A = this chain, B = another copy of it.
Amino acid sequence: MVNVTMADVAEKAGVSKSTVSQYLSKRYEYMSVETRKKIEQAIKELDYRPNVLARSLKQKRSSTIGVIVANIMHSFSTEICRAIEDYYQEQGMNVILCNTDEDGDKEKSYIEMLQAKQVDGMILFPTGKNKSLYKKLTKQRIPILFVDRKVEGVHTDTVVANNADAVYQAVKHLADQGHRKIAILTAPLTISSRIDRVEGFKRAVQELGLDSSRDLTINCEIGQIRGRLQSLLSREDKPTAIIAGNDLVLMEILAYIKENRIRVPEELALLVFDNIPFAHLLSPTLTTISQPSAEMGRAAGRLLHERIKAEQPSDQQPPREMTYECTLIVRESSQGGIRP
Please list the residues of chain A having a beta carbon within 8 angstroms of any beta carbon in chain B. Answer: 2, 49-54, 56-57, 62, 64, 72-73, 78-79, 81-82, 85-86, 89, 94-99, 106, 110, 112-113, 115-118, 140, 251, 254-255, 258, 276-278, 280-283
Residues of B within 8 A of A277 (CB): 251, 278
- The residue on B at minimum CB distance from A101 is B86
Known: A72-B81, A89-B99, A254-B278. 15 other contacts (CB 8 A): A2-B140, A49-B112, A50-B116, A52-B116, A52-B118, A53-B62, A72-B85, A73-B82, A96-B96, A97-B97, A251-B281, A258-B283, A276-B278, A278-B278, A282-B282
Residues of B within 8 A of A96 (CB): 64, 94-97
User: Are the C-beta atoms of B56 and A53 separated by less than 8 Å?
Assistant: yes
Q: Which of B86, B97, B106, B278 contacts A95 (CB 8 A)?
A: B97
Residues of B within 8 A of A54 (CB): 57
User: Are the C-beta atoms of B85 and A99 separated by less than 8 Å?
Assistant: yes
In the assembled complex, the Cα of A94 lies from the Cα of B277 at a distance in Å of 30
Residues of B within 8 A of A281 (CB): 251, 254-255, 258, 278, 282
Residues of B within 8 A of A86 (CB): 99
Copy count, this protein chain: 2
In the assembled complex, the Cα of A78 lies from the Cα of B82 at a distance in Å of 11
User: Are the C-beta atoms of B52 and A117 separated by less than 8 Å?
Assistant: yes
In the assembled complex, the Cα of A301 lies from the Cα of B310 at a distance in Å of 37
Closest Cβ of chain B to A60, distance in Å, is 8
- The residue on B at minimum CB distance from A66 is B94
Residues of B within 8 A of A140 (CB): 2
Shortest beta-carbon contacts, A-B, top 10: A97-B97, A278-B278, A254-B281, A283-B283, A52-B116, A53-B57, A53-B118, A94-B96, A53-B56, A52-B117
Residues of B within 8 A of A280 (CB): 255
- The residue on B at minimum CB distance from A285 is B258
Residues of B within 8 A of A97 (CB): 81, 85, 95-97
In the assembled complex, the Cα of A110 lies from the Cα of B73 at a distance in Å of 24
- The residue on B at minimum CB distance from A57 is B53
- The residue on B at minimum CB distance from A55 is B116
Closest Cβ of chain B to A41, distance in Å, is 20
Closest Cβ of chain B to A254, distance in Å, is 5
User: Are the C-beta atoms of B78 and A72 separated by less than 8 Å?
Assistant: yes
User: Are the C-beta atoms of A57 and B62 separated by less than 8 Å?
Assistant: no
User: Are the C-beta atoms of B64 and A73 separated by less than 8 Å?
Assistant: no
Residues of B within 8 A of A2 (CB): 140
In the assembled complex, the Cα of A64 lies from the Cα of B276 at a distance in Å of 33
21 A–B contacts from the bound complex (CB under 8 Å)? A49-B116, A50-B116, A51-B118, A52-B116, A52-B118, A53-B56, A53-B57, A53-B117, A53-B118, A72-B78, A73-B82, A78-B78, A86-B99, A89-B106, A95-B96, A96-B96, A251-B281, A254-B278, A255-B280, A278-B278, A278-B281
